[in-house]
Each structure stands twice: as C-alpha cells, then as structure tokens.
A and B are shown apart, each in its own frame.
Chain A
Amino acid sequence: KQEVTQIPAALSVPEGENLVLNCSFTDSAIYNLQWFRQDPGKGLTSLLLIQSSQREQTSGRLNASLDKSSGRSTLYIAASQPGDSATYLCAVEPVNDYKLSFGAGTTVTVRA
C-alpha cells in the first residue's frame, strides 16, 4: 500500500526566505505526483503536476522536482511572501488506478 509522508508537519519562516517542502512515497510505480495548496477551511488548489517521466516542473516562483527511484519530491517556493502561508499537500497517482494517495501536508507560516 502506498504511503506518502510530508516532513515537517509545520514550519515558520521570515518573509523573503526560500521554502523547501518535502514529500516521500514508498511505491515508485506512480504515473504522476501533484502538489496542492489548501487555505484554512477551503478546498485544495492544484499547483503543479509532474509526470513520472519528468524531473521537474516550474510555475512562477514554484518549482517541483521528482526523483521517482528514491521516492521523493521537493517543492521549492522562492522569495516567500505572507500570502504563501497555507498548507501544502502532495499526492501520488499510481499507474492503472484512479486512487491518489495523499500526504498529511506541511503547514507553512511566512512571517512579515
């Protein structure tokens, strides 16, 4: 059974610092990995989707890398801002199955 882990569960950084968020998974037979953002009391918003054949994906200040063989993905957020404060979740989609497995998320606070 796929296990997805996000460590740390929470972190706090001063504004302007780069953020590094980690996601690890136990089964490398994945089709893609997705990163989501969740604001308090809201649904999830898709940030980036990396196909298993890709090494990284970029969108603005966000960059996500994927190392399928070691079961790891990292989300980098450059020059953090208070508006980046949220919970970030990763999820892996297996080959030949619709069921995504989600991590519990990392809650980020960016201090002004």
Chain B
Amino acid sequence: DGGITQSPKYLFRKEGQNVTLSCEQNLNHDAMYWYRQDPGQGLRLIYYSQIVNDFQKGDIAEGYSVSREKKESFPLTVTSAQKNPTAFYLCATQDSAYSPLHFGNGTRLTVT
C-alpha cells in the first residue's frame, strides 16, 4: 500500500527539549517537504529536499533541522531554539517538478 507515514500522530514535549518527527514514504518520490500549519494560516514551508543528501531551507527554517540520508525518509527535528513550536506538522512528497503534492496525515506537536 503506497503512501506517506507520519509518526507519531500526537506528540507532547516540555519546553527546552528537542523532538524528532518521522516521515517515511514508499511512493519512490524524489522530492520531500515539511510544512507547518497554524489555525487560520496557510501552510508554511520549513525545509525541502529534492534528492538524497541535499536539502534547502524554506520560509521558516529557524529552530528546525532535517536530514535526508535515504530516499524514503525525511525526519524533522524541532529544536529548543524554535520559539513557538506548538503546531500541526505536515510532510509531503512530489514525484517530479510541477506534479501534485501528496501529504501524510500529520503530527500534532504540543509543547508546554
């Protein structure tokens, strides 16, 4: 069954702790993206990767880090430097430039 798996669905952390969100895909897509969604706002791009071992900052990369060691995996680490980390995080993939985006079901992160 092809798709994008994000885990966990819900994540709770204390302030000051780093946390890593998982995104795995078996669609064999080259491009992968991390977006953040806040109530009443459009999705904002955090990081994206077009090929293995390469990634670029999006519009709101500060306080986040990523790696792309395998084509299937694009984990996102939310560091303690991120000032307002509580949000809904979405991972997406794209087969090729200008083709439709495919999304996972998201991880809701709550930091208290």
Contacts and interface: CB of A to CB of B under 8 A. Distances in A.
Nearest to A98: B48
B58 A43 contact: no
Contacts of B87: none
Contacts of B44: 102
Contacts of B100: 34, 46, 49
A100 B101 contact: yes
Nearest to A46: B100
A105 B59 contact: no
Contacts of A98: 31, 33, 48, 50, 94, 97
A10 B67 CA distance: 37
Interface in B42-79: 42-45, 48, 50, 58-59
A65 interface: no
A25 B13 CA distance: 37
Interface of B: 4, 6, 31, 33, 35, 40-45, 48, 50, 58-59, 90, 92, 94, 97-106, 108
A99 B45 contact: yes
Interface string A18-46: 00000000000001101010000111111
A4 interface: yes
B45 A42 contact: no
B101 A44 contact: yes
Contact of A104 (B41, B50, B105, B106): B41
Task: Give the one of A43, A46, A91, A104 with max B CB within 10 A.
Answer: A43
A9 B43 CA distance: 15
Contact of B90 (A31, A34, A43): A43
A46 B101 contact: yes
A89 interface: yes
Contacts of B98: 31-32, 51, 93
A26 to B, nearest CB: 13
Task: Give the one of B31, B97, B101 with max A CB within 10 A.
Answer: B101
A-B pairs, top 10 by smallest CB distance, nearest first, are: A43-B103, A102-B42, A46-B100, A102-B43, A44-B103, A43-B105, A104-B42, A49-B100, A31-B98, A43-B106
Contacts of B92: 43-44
